[in-house]
Amino acid sequence: MSNNLDLKKGLNIPVKGAAAPEVIQTVSPDIVAVKPTDFKGLVPRLLVKEGDTVKAGSPVMADKQRPEILLTSPVSGTVQQVVRGEKRKLLAVVVKADAKQEYVDFGTKAPASAAETKDLLLKSGLWGALIQRPYGVMAGPEDTPKAIFVSSFSTAPLAADLEFTLGDALKDIQAGIDALSLVAPVHVSVKKGANTFAQLKNATLHTVSGPHPAGNVGVQISHIAPVMKGDLVWTLSLLHLAAIGHVINTGKLDLTRKVAVTGPAAPKTGYVQCLSGTPVKAITAAAQGVRVIGGDVLTGEILGAEGYLGFFQNQLTLLQEGYEREWFGWAKPFRPKVHSSSWYNMDTNLHGGPRAFVETKCFEDVTPMDIFPIYLIKACLAGDIEKMEKFGIYEVLPEDLALCDYVDPSKNEIQAIIQKGIDLMIKEMA
């Protein structure tokens, strides 16, 4: 186990449109959505109906198999709409916010045991923030993990600067760590040279440096204590660690966050203070032909201009859709777009057609983990459980190999392939 990770492999993608560290707007949304689709491994059961009144922290949904897992409303108000999709799949519960916020009181007594911590997380609706490795699904309340990992910085393209967004929440974060360390030892990775989060106590701190994906918690785990067969660890974002601490310190659920509005197609970049589930329209305007992504350009989800900010998202990226066709692209092999080092206005064009795998080293160059990406990818494609295990399927989530999507000259969908492999593992190992 090393407390100092200096990662060399990886790539910082030169996308333009970083957010300067200032809050440009504070939004109190009229409506807020709770989306069960944010949580992998959750089968939602509705607990409210249209017209019900809820407080901030009141449950609106529960998991079908594990009814103790609750999803709660981030605002007080009335349930305006239950949005369903195909086959009546529950997509969102939309709550119309009251002018004045009322909170469910979860008490301000700090948890004294693992059971109390778990109970508080389940009741407050923050349980969903815990993600288990392997597989990247929601943690099970019955499980006891080997350790809990938190990354206190993100290296993803244009990601929110957590020192800026959460630097003032140090007290909450500490309270969160104190509570979670009752469940399992907590490891926090800190960016090399960053001081704010290096003050945290009651956790093992790891200093990490390097290009993306050095900030990915999965990459850090693979160097600190690799997840092998039979291992179970939990991960959690710093954002939610602060929210947990806030519940403990004040008794109130507060999912307010500073959201980084970024990307080359953003009309104005900067941070917007708002709630989880705020409509995208309220945060930023998006012109025609612009893709609104919740999260970063590598792993984010397409929200669309009519969508709502997800539970895990603290970033919006706006990109121009790249339908334009470039003339004689092949005749300009040395143009700056090839492994560019200059920052430019990227769009969503694929820049080529899908082909069979040809290059091999490009995947290894962007994957700072002790695995052979190409072998893992091929094992996933073949659906070979034994080989997937051997090549490290327990260690990775699609986000850890997201850069492979970006660099692959054969334009394969690596993240989708890995996710398919993980889904197969869940099905076969259950």
Partner 1 sequence: MADEKKPGLFEKGGKLYWLHSSIDAFDTFLRVPGTVTAKGAHVRDGIDLKRVMIMVVIALVPAALFGMYNVGLQTSTLYGLDWNFWHMFWYGLLRMLPLFVVSYAVGLAIEFGSAQIRGEEVNEGYLVTGFLIPLIVPVDVPLWMVALAVAFSVLFVKEVFGGTGMNIWNPALVARAFLFFSYPSSMSGSSVWVSKTWVPALKDVDAISAATPLAIAHDGAFDAATGAVGQYSFMDMVWGFIPGSTGETSVIAILIGALILVWTGVASWKIMVSSLAGGLLVGWLGQLAGATAVPCYYQLVMGGFLFGSVFMATDPVTAAQTETGKWIYGFLVGALAVVVRLWNPGYMEGMMLAILLMNTMAPLIDHCVVSTHTSRRAKKALTA
Q: Are 162 and 21 in contact (CB under 8 A)?
A: no
Backbone angles phi, psi at 172, to 5 degrees: -65, -45
The residue from 241, 274, 297, 369 that contacts partner 1 (CB under 8 A) is 297
Give the DSSP letter string of 157-169: TT---HHHHHGGG
Nearer to partner 1, 29 or 392 (CB): 392
Q: Which of 142, 325, 342, 427 binds partner 1 (CB under 8 A)?
A: 325
CA atoms within 13 A on the CB side of 410: 14
Does 390 interact with partner 1 (rule: CB under 8 A)?
Answer: yes
Q: Would you say 15 or 253 has its CB closer to partner 1? A: 15
42 token code pair: 């959750």
Using the rule CB under 8 A, is 266 a contact of partner 1? no
C-beta atoms surrounding 416 within 10 Å = 12
Query: Among 310, 334, 330, which Cα is nearest to 74's?
Result: 310
Window of 31-39, 199-207, 244-252, 319-327 that interacts with partner 1 by CB under 8 A: 319-327
406 binds partner 1 (CB under 8 A): yes
Taking CB under 8 A as the rule, does residue 229 contact partner 1? yes
Residue of 130, 319, 369, 397 interacting with partner 1 (CB under 8 A): 319
Give whichever of 129 and 293 is closer to partner 1, judged by the CB atom: 293
Number of residues that bind partner 1 (CB under 8 A): 73
Judge contact between 176 and 234, C-beta under 8 A. no
Q: In one letter, which amino acid is 229?
A: K
213 binds partner 1 (CB under 8 A): no
User: Pattern of binders to partner 1 over 330-359, x per CB under 8 A?
Assistant: xxxxxx-xxxx-----xxxxxxxxxxxxxx
| Closer residue to partner 1 in complex, CB, 173/380 | 380
Residues 410-429 that bind partner 1 (CB under 8 A): 410-411, 413-416
Nearer to partner 1, 18 or 46 (CB): 18
Separation of alpha carbons 377 and 63, rounded Å: 32
Counting Cβ atoms within 10 Å, is residue 31 exposed (0-12), middle (13-18) or buried (19+)?
middle
List the one residue from 241, 293, 303, 396 that touches partner 1 (CB under 8 A).
Answer: 293
Asked if 288 touches partner 1 (CB under 8 A), the answer is: no
Nearest to 398 by CA among 256, 295, 316, 327: 295
Q: Is the dihedral of CA 137, 309, 68, 250 positive or negative?
A: positive
| 376 touches 363 (CB < 8 A) | no
Output the smallest distance, CB 172 to partner 1, in A. Answer: 32
Residues 11-30 that bind partner 1 (CB under 8 A): 13, 15
Residue 193 is a binding residue for partner 1 (CB under 8 A): no
Residues in 99-138 at the binding interface with partner 1, rule: CB under 8 A: none
Shorter beta-carbon distance to partner 1: residue 8 or 229: 229
- We find the least distance from the C-beta atom of residue 349 to partner 1, in angstroms, to be 6
- Is residue 228 involved in binding partner 1 (CB under 8 A)? yes
Residue 375 sits in the site that holds partner 1 (CB under 8 A): yes
Q: Which residues pair with 131 in a beta bridge?
A: 138, 235
* 267 part of the interface to partner 1, by CB under 8 A: no
- Give the separation between CA 60 and CA 49, rounded to whole angstroms: 9
**Cβ contacts of 335 within 8 Å, gap of 6 or more:** none
Tell the smallest beta-carbon distance from residue 73 to partner 1 (Å). 30
Q: How far is the CB of 15 from partner 1 (least distance, A)?
A: 7
212 binds partner 1 (CB under 8 A): no
**H or E element in which residue 116 lies:** helix 114-124
Q: Which of 46, 82, 110, 225 binds partner 1 (CB under 8 A)?
A: 225
- Strands 233-237, 90-97: parallel, antiparallel or unpaired by DSSP? unpaired
In the block, which residue shows the tokens 């990459």? 219
